[in-house]
Chains A and B, each alone.
Chain A
Amino acid sequence: MQRAGEAEDKRRICLRPEGPSYAAARSRTSSSIYEADSVSGRYQHSTFSFERILNEFSEWYISCITIKDSIINQFKILKQRGKFFVDKFMRVNMTTKEISVEPVPDKYAPLGGRALTSQFVLDEVEPTCEPLGPFNKLIFAPGLLSGTNAPSSGRISVGAKSPLTGTIKESNAGGVASQKIANLGYKAIVIEGQPAKGEFYILKITPDGAELLPAGDVAGKGGYETVNMLKEKFGPKAGVIFTGPAGEMLMAGAGIGINDPEGNASRYAGRGGLGAVMGAKGLKAIVIDAPKTFDVPVADKERFRAAAKKFADILLGHPVTGQGLPAYGTNVLMNIINEAGTLPTRNFSSGRFEQANEVGGEKLAEACNARGGKATHACHPGCVMRCSNIFVLPDGRHMGSLEYETAWGFGPNLEISSLDDVGMMNYICNDVGLDTIEAGVTLGVLMEAGAIPFGDGKAAIAALEEVGKGTLFGRIVGSGATFAGKVYGVTRIPAVKGQGIPAYDPRSCRGNGVTYATSTQGADHTAGYAVTANILKVGGFVDPLKDEGQVVLSRNLQIATAAVDSTGLCLFVAFAVLDNPEGLPAVVEMLNAMYGLSLTGDDVVALGQSILKNELEFNRRAGFTKAHDRLPEFFYTEELAPHNTKFALKEEMDELVNF
């Protein structure tokens, strides 16, 4: 399908693939893509050029926001006229216990989410600092559209230097916090300094201001109890951001939890050990009391409402975001990743697990419905994709959402095929405050070491229960895969820059392999989710078993993702936007209507690239080089069944960050 102005759009896009990879990619010439027929509205296969696909990725993204000087100036002028509601910047000094609220600095005015957290961390955090010391800073930032009724726009970015990787970190989560913070007018909440050891506090934020309160008996409590206690004390509608016992004990695998609309302690900014940074700040929880969710003022209400409605229709009209995700959740992936032979099994020893179906999305949906949970659930108010769920344990406890990467990490990765065992492990992680991906990869490494047996669900559960007790073994489990592997002398540690590799084996999903190796975040599947084009045939097709095109694919996705992570939109909107020519304009229209701007796609590259450049610069100053942009050795030397392929890309990947 041709779209109006396509030729002109292409001229503007600077993300042209270059070098040998591009030449090879061009020679492929065409790919199958899933696209809506403009006449019938039915989705069907059609044929597209590889170049077109790449442009689609870049184009979408950039249009979201730009940070060229003229835009910054526009923001500045609007700000001076008092046009912005979300105009406050809160700093909480945990050393002095002082809270200050200042106007948003001009340079941060056009930024949100990841664009803001990464710029701020580069500006204010010494790259060589101790991540768990007083000089690291933790920043929470809603996305640019958060707090409005833009569909699926309630994501929050959390940034700091990571104790797990030593790199910059942006961890992204749903839950109710982002919209509440935005509706109180805060662009960001920054946590600085450090209290005396053993002191823990609650930061309470209301429409009247903020105060630090002693955590009292909430300190040391698990996630579920923490949320319940704080909601009892501060009201049933309070939003709670918390760290669990693992974070309080400064374990590098700890995440930061956020309650979902039902109050389950189940949404996590999981990756990178930011829960330990929160623990090191002596901050047990942030409680947000905001009476409003969707009421951040927008410049042009009617225009915004129309764009938001159109965008919701686009999401609901696409079979992935409108049907597959609501029905089966993210775990809908389990079977297709398994059938494609890229499901890491037995600590990345095989690409297929014959019992994968037992822990897949279809089985999960059945279990949720049979036990009074929910197979379809929104992780934050106003999400129309509703890919979350509420899994209920056999004893009736509501666990919260079981996601694909979690089901993989505690399932096939450990050769465990009991959904209830997987659910129990997820529950323990939510409660003790661990990133489920890092925990799953760590358990795989410990099984590789022989510390616990492969396939033994009960032993895996017992290992995770040690974390909350703070035993030596529990601390090993909670400290991440790389540390655990070193303790036991394991050489097959699936991690990059200290962070565990998630649920897609890089040998047979090579685009994601490039992302794992080169991401500024350490191994991170969402940083450049090449599974789309490698396996799912969304946004084109690039053969997952070949090297051609993977570096370019990953680069464009990483740039695009950095931009999406700045809007507050869930990354999953990409599934629909990539297939619908009206998707991108709808996103741009929402931003323009909200801020009274005239954004175009001109500086897409500048935006996404600028975020990555900031992150790369921080990492460079922290001591990272291209030598760190490699996969572990065994991916280059061991073949993966069933395709019997190895990973081969090395120096070719160095081109990725040359922009």
Chain B
Amino acid sequence: MQVEVRVFCGLEKCIPGARFGQPLTVEMPDGTTGYGLLEILNIPRENAFSLLVNGAHQDFNEVLAEGDRVSIFPPVGGG
């Protein structure tokens, strides 16, 4: 299945050629979880904090679905 992934705030440095915020189409096996996606993208677990799937927070242990818009962030804050 395919998901559309965006990474931010330096996580893009883990992925050769990637740029922050640019959508990446990732092909992965059915049943892949958030953590599984991190492995595919070579992003260390400890660097990723928020997983937004279609705009809502999702646990990294949950399975992703075909066509999901996935966004991955380290801890961020401001305001």
Contacts and interface: CB of A to CB of B under 8 A. Distances in A.
A501 to B, nearest CB: 14
Contacts of B46: 42-44
A336 B56 CA distance: 11
Interface in A309-362: 318-321, 323-325, 327-333, 335-336, 339-341, 351-352, 356-357, 360-362
A525 B79 contact: yes
B16 to A, nearest CB: 18
Given A339-B52, A340-B55, A34 B20 contact: no
Interface string A108-150: 0000000000000000000000000000000000000000000
A575 B78 CA distance: 9
Highest count of chain A CB atoms <10 Å: which of B6, B9, B77: B77
Contacts of B49: 34, 43, 45, 319, 537
B6 A330 contact: no
A330 B54 contact: no
A360 B21 contact: yes
- Report the interface size class on chain B: 20 to 34
Contact of A330 (B50, B57, B78): B78
Interface in A342-387: 351-352, 356-357, 360-363, 387
A538 B75 contact: yes
Contacts of A541: 57
Contacts of A363: 20
Contacts of B76: 320, 324, 328, 332-333, 336, 536
A258 interface: no
A363 B59 CA distance: 28
Interface in B16-71: 20-22, 46, 49-50, 52, 54-57, 59, 69, 71
Given A332-B78, A387-B78, A536-B77, A362 B54 contact: no
Interface in A382-419: 387, 404-405
A508 B52 CA distance: 14
A320 B8 contact: no
Interface stretch (A299-307, A465-473, A526-534, A648-656): A526-534
Contacts of B8: 335-336, 362
A572 B56 contact: no
A34 B75 contact: yes
A571 interface: yes
B-side interface mostly? loop
A332 B9 contact: yes
B21 A537 contact: no
A336 B20 contact: no
A96 B22 CA distance: 62
Contact of A325 (B56, B69, B71, B78): B78
A404 B79 contact: yes
A76 interface: no
Contacts of A44: 46
A642 interface: yes
B55 A575 contact: no
A343 to B, nearest CB: 10
B78 A335 contact: no
A26 interface: no
Interface string A45-88: 10000000000000000000000000000000000000000000
Nearest to B70: A339
A545 B79 contact: no
A643 interface: yes
A532 B77 contact: yes
Nearest to B60: A45
A121 to B, nearest CB: 25
Contacts of B20: 335, 357, 360, 362-363
A206 interface: no
Interface of B: 6, 8-10, 20-22, 46, 49-50, 52, 54-57, 59, 69, 71, 73-79
22 contacts: A43-B49, A44-B46, A320-B76, A320-B77, A323-B74, A323-B75, A328-B9, A328-B76, A330-B78, A332-B76, A333-B76, A335-B9, A336-B76, A339-B52, A340-B56, A351-B55, A362-B9, A363-B20, A541-B57, A572-B77, A572-B78, A643-B56
Return the 4 tightest CB-CB contacts between A and B, nearest first: A357-B21, A330-B78, A341-B55, A339-B71
